[in-house]
Amino acid sequence: MHPVASSAPAGVAPPDETAREEARAALPGGSYGRLEELAAWLAACQGRAPARAPRRVRAVLFAADHGIAAAGVSAHAPAETVARVAAARDGSGAAARFAEAAGAGLRVVDVGLATPVPGDARDDRAVVRGGGRLDLEDVLTADQAAAALRAGREVADEEVDEGADLLVAGELAVGVSTPVAVLAAAMTGREPVAVVGRGSGIDDRAWMVKAAAVRDGLRRARPVGRDPQSLLRIAGGADLAALVGFLAQAARRRTPVVLDGAATAVAALLADTEVPGARAWWTAGTRCTEPAQAFALDVLGLEPLLDLSMRAGQGTGALTAVGLVRAAVCVG
pLDDT, tens only, 242-299: 999 999 999 999 999 999 999 999 999 999 999 999 999 999 999 999 999 999 999 9
Say if residue 46's pLDDT is above 60: yes
Residues 102 and 23 placed together within one structural domain of the fold: no
pTM to 2 decimals? 0.95
Domain that holds residue 262: 55-322
Cβ neighbours of residue 318 under 8 Å, at least 6 residues apart? 59, 168, 169, 170, 258, 259, 260, 264, 285, 286
- State whether 73 and 113 are in the same domain: yes
- pLDDT above 90 covers what percent of the chain? 91
**Are 33 and 115 in a shared domain?**
no
In the chain, how many domains are there?
2
Query: Average per-residue pLDDT in the chain?
Result: 94
- Do 160 and 279 share a structural domain? yes
195 domain residue, yes or no: yes
Query: Helix axis angle, 262-274 relative to 177-188, nearest 10°?
Result: 40
Read off φ and ψ for residue 170, nearest 5 degrees: -165, 180
Q: List pLDDT tens digits, range 120-160.
A: 999 999 999 999 999 999 999 999 999 999 999 999 999 99
- Considering the domain architecture, whether residues 74 and 209 belong to the same structural domain is answered as yes
Please check whether residues 101 and 201 belong to one and the same domain. yes
Whether residues 64 and 205 fall in one domain = yes
Are 202 and 99 members of one domain?
yes
Whether 4 maps to a domain, the answer reads no
Q: Are residues 36 and 73 in the same domain?
A: no
For residue 112, is it within any domain? Answer: yes
With cut-offs at 50, 70 and 90, classify the pLDDT of residue 3.
very low
